Structure 1
């Protein structure tokens, strides 16, 4: 009887975890979609407020920076208070930021502030779903779980520009702030049904969070303004953070994790690749507007959206392949899709719009493969007790790199001297700057691949 009762409790717990996983996936779709939904609106925002692309890019960069820092904070909090309370609080912060943006959309600084607040709330979801998988999914099934999440996340990132383009074209870009409200539908379920586990209680390293956040903002400003003062301030803050985490009892980032070379190299590889792809995707609306004079609706729905169709299939497929044949083959398949797409776009992107549409399909599919492998490889580098902090660092670093990638593109578009082609370029003279950026993206993708090769030698698959 006791054994039967225990089995019943185990089955019930597994059912609750499965249901919570799908609710988290639902919310993750909307939270990550908000990362890219403003992409096609950036040219319109720059025009409405009379600002340079480097300034307009902060509508996305601000969201992603707070999203990155928040993902790390929520992962650390989950080690202290479990999943329930951080998740519900994050959802309401997300809704508050959305309301602020909608009501104050006529004031550019308020729009940037609203995006920072949105990111601080939305980051709870992908951070905690990664922790849930690492803690509660068997190692032999993690690849599939990461694949499902990667598919949902990639679909959210991909469909964001399509929905955003439609809303911008038919209504106004300020109504993009309404979309996140759908995530609040899940709050009652999490509040009532999700079991809140307490792992341990300890203080939060607020000073460390502030130091690292300041450094990130300074580095992001440097990629858009290229002023040495920002770079200097960033290095000072990072140096102070490095000293700080060695002196406090419970630092924001455990120094022991940073001494795990396998873990660090895998995370760096993911940063380079995801940041590069994010920069490429943020470049596409500017390229389509400049070369083809397309509207936001056509860019989002006709150029970017088709790429999301293959993402759902390939995200699940990547998880299955990873479990069966290992990380490395799947990784290089994804890398090949991405690098080949960049090279083809650099030369033929101005021949016809449908060419970019097809290349984006390959890029999004490659992105799904890369995300699954990076998540799975990172989990293999961590001990059970390191899951929350380790997966939090991965989320933090990768989301941060996406923000830096978008800011980098905005900065390059504001440099007039970059208009000259340095290598064989598109036939359309207006496409020269985009050809140059695509060659840089290709180089960065290859560099990310080499980093993974270095890490893969140390990882037991």
Structure 2
């Protein structure tokens, strides 16, 4: 490796490190406020449905933003978009921190989400644009580790702040993301804007489809479901007729990309379902309180974050299919044991979560790496944005379905066991699809 190449790699991975830090803050910002909902409900005298908008509003905008930034990155450049996003994130944090009413809290969360959603889009695009194919697994491993670490420490930080201070400090913590801004400005290249008009009607219809879908799920409303279908059909009609559509329908004619999208939705759904299910299991079956639950879940998230760094290097050295085989095996083993011994103690569950969370992290690295290689040129930004958005929405659907299944039966260990049994079948089906679709190509080893 010559001096110029080594210097370029050093700069690229410095940028990846900054991105991982921003990912930690972004993910913490999402998980911290779940812990704060009971406090906000009591202070502002709200119903459960009203206070849930602190999370719901964030989810809706986050899902829309992940694909929108992916599309705009092809036109305006990542440096400008990340600058805008992080400033917007900080503005939302200030609005929430000094909120005098619940409406201002919601406004702060919306502004936070408008800004924060640039980070997941960037977590896909920066490794693709700034890191060589041979080292992309390592880069994705670092960003995945940031996501896992944010997931691990978010609830613990929130519990500490709510115990000794105020919910306002949750917004203050989010201001730390500004530390990353000068480093992004330093390491990101200045890219010229690409002329052309943005398909605003297409973007609005896509946003409406996503918002209505999530509202139909969270509100369990057939009316919203019908409106979702209508908005989606109008969106399809629009992108098939626009000269420069918001989403080029031709991207779905790339067979491997479309299959990667489907497999990604199947596998990454569990990234939200497992963290949603485990606290309810520990509370209902094991009788743990919130602090004890956090302590049981913490080791698995931290170890998964550290092993994510190793997983990226494995993908580079051994190939995607090798890492996915480990991701599949670890998850399958964990779900089968949880299915078979649902009444086990809390610390055996903590050990199993190390296995399962590592499998989830490996799967995340593999799928992002695999799907990114099916795209090229101007398809990359919006294609990876759609990948992130679809996986996120699939997870939201999955957690909603789990909520319906657990309603009235949350204390029934047999119900939890059946769910883990279904998870085992689900991941096995996804693995078969992955090996059939990508087995030959992904099996090729890529050596640095």
TM-score w.r.t. length of structure 2: 0.87
Tell me the secondary structure at the aligned position of residue 245 of structure 1.
helix
Cα deviation, residue 365, structure 1: 0.5
- Residue 369 of structure 1 is matched in structure 2 by 362
- Residue 423 of structure 1 is matched in structure 2 by none
Cα deviation, residue 46, structure 1: 6.2
Cα deviation, residue 14, structure 1: 5.7
- Residue 445 of structure 1 is matched in structure 2 by 427
**How far, CA to CA, are the matches of 2:429 and 2:211 in structure 1?**
24
**How far, CA to CA, are the matches of 1:106 and 1:356 in structure 2?**
40
Give yes or no for the alignment of 1:254 onto 2:236: no
**How far, CA to CA, are the matches of 1:202 and 1:67 in structure 2?**
25
**How far, CA to CA, are the matches of 1:195 and 1:230 in structure 2?**
43
* TM alignment of 1:126-141, pairs within 5 A: 126-141=120-135
- Residue 59 of structure 2 is matched in structure 1 by 64
Cα deviation, residue 361, structure 1: 1.3
Give yes or no for the alignment of 1:223 onto 2:217: yes
**How far, CA to CA, are the matches of 1:34 and 1:409 in structure 2?**
23
Give yes or no for the alignment of 1:316 onto 2:309: yes
- Residue 259 of structure 2 is matched in structure 1 by 265
* TM alignment of 1:416-431, pairs within 5 A: 416=408, 419=409, 429-431=411-413
- Summarize the Cα distance change of 1:171–1:296 in structure 2 as closer, same or farther, 3 Å threshold: farther
1:281 to 275, 279, 291: 275
- Residue 188 of structure 1 is matched in structure 2 by 182
- Residue 438 of structure 2 is matched in structure 1 by 456
Tell me the secondary structure at the aligned position of residue 242 of structure 2.
coil
Paired residues of 2:9 and 2:131 also in contact (CA < 8 A): no
* TM alignment of 1:53-92, pairs within 5 A: 58-92=53-87
**How far, CA to CA, are the matches of 2:140 and 2:313 in structure 1?**
10
Q: Give deviations 1:113-169, integer Å, cap 9, x for gaps.
A: 543332221121231242122123221111221122222222222332332333344
- Residue 4 of structure 1 is matched in structure 2 by none
- Residue 232 of structure 2 is matched in structure 1 by 238
TM-score w.r.t. length of structure 1: 0.85
**How far, CA to CA, are the matches of 1:50 and 1:445 in structure 2?**
39
Deviates more, 1:429-438 or 1:60-69: 429-438
Paired residues of 2:266 and 2:430 also in contact (CA < 8 A): yes
Paired residues of 1:273 and 1:445 also in contact (CA < 8 A): yes
2:17 to 19, 22, 42: 22
1:175 to 169, 176, 179: 169
Cα deviation, residue 20, structure 1: 2.8
**How far, CA to CA, are the matches of 1:349 and 1:324 in structure 2?**
37
- Summarize the Cα distance change of 1:282–1:173 in structure 2 as closer, same or farther, 3 Å threshold: farther
Q: Give deviations 1:37-57, integer Å, cap 9, x for gaps.
A: 3344456666775644x7765
Give yes or no for the alignment of 1:151 onto 2:151: no
**How far, CA to CA, are the matches of 2:280 and 2:124 in structure 1?**
33
**How far, CA to CA, are the matches of 1:336 and 1:64 in structure 2?**
31
Q: How many pairs does the alignment contain?
A: 441
Cα deviation, residue 182, structure 1: 0.5
Paired residues of 1:377 and 1:459 also in contact (CA < 8 A): no
- Summarize the Cα distance change of 1:61–1:450 in structure 2 as closer, same or farther, 3 Å threshold: farther
Cα deviation, residue 411, structure 1: 4.5
Paired residues of 2:20 and 2:145 also in contact (CA < 8 A): no
Cα deviation, residue 435, structure 1: 3.7
Give yes or no for the alignment of 1:205 onto 2:199: yes
Q: Give deviations 1:67-112, integer Å, cap 9, x for gaps.
A: 22212211222211211110011001112222333334862x6545
Paired residues of 2:342 and 2:416 also in contact (CA < 8 A): no
**How far, CA to CA, are the matches of 2:289 and 2:378 in structure 1?**
50
Cα deviation, residue 370, structure 1: 0.3
> Structure 1: 5+ residue runs without aligned partners?
1-6, 421-428
Q: Aligned-residue CA RMSD in angstroms?
A: 3.0
